[in-house]
Amino acid sequence: MLNKKPHLVSSIKQSIIKLEEDAFFSSIKTHKLSGNLLGYYACSCGYDCRIVFSIEKDKITLEEVILLIDIGTHDEVY
């Protein structure tokens, strides 16, 4: 996807930085998913770009980690 839309690279980077700071930062509009993606979350990284991720607990450090599952347009990731 990024090869076809290089202008999204900056938006994706900014959204990932915000995810790292606070996965529920209001400007990225994080929300729970349902159906086949139940248990995952999605956030916005542009008008028609989404990041699908999960929040897990590291088995060794017990810290929360964000696992990126997919990045793409609304239709590509859902």
The domain tally of the chain equals: 1
Asked whether residue 25 is domain-assigned, the answer is yes
In the chain, which ranges are E strands?
Answer: 31-32, 41-44, 50-57, 64-72
Asked whether residue 49 is domain-assigned, the answer is yes
Low-confidence stretches of the chain (pLDDT beneath 50): none
Asked whether residue 33 is domain-assigned, the answer is yes
pLDDT of residue 8: 84
pTM comes to 0.88
pLDDT of residue 62: 95
Domain range for 61 is 6-77
H/E run at residue 10? helix 9-21
State the distance between the two ends of the chain, measured CA to CA, in whole angstroms. 15
Cα 23 to Cα 13: distance, rounded to the nearest angstrom = 14
pLDDT of residue 6: 74
The residue type at 65 = V
CATH number of the domain within which 15 lies: 3.30.2310.20
Contacts for 30 with CB less than 8 Å, ≥ 6 apart: 19, 23, 24, 41, 42, 43
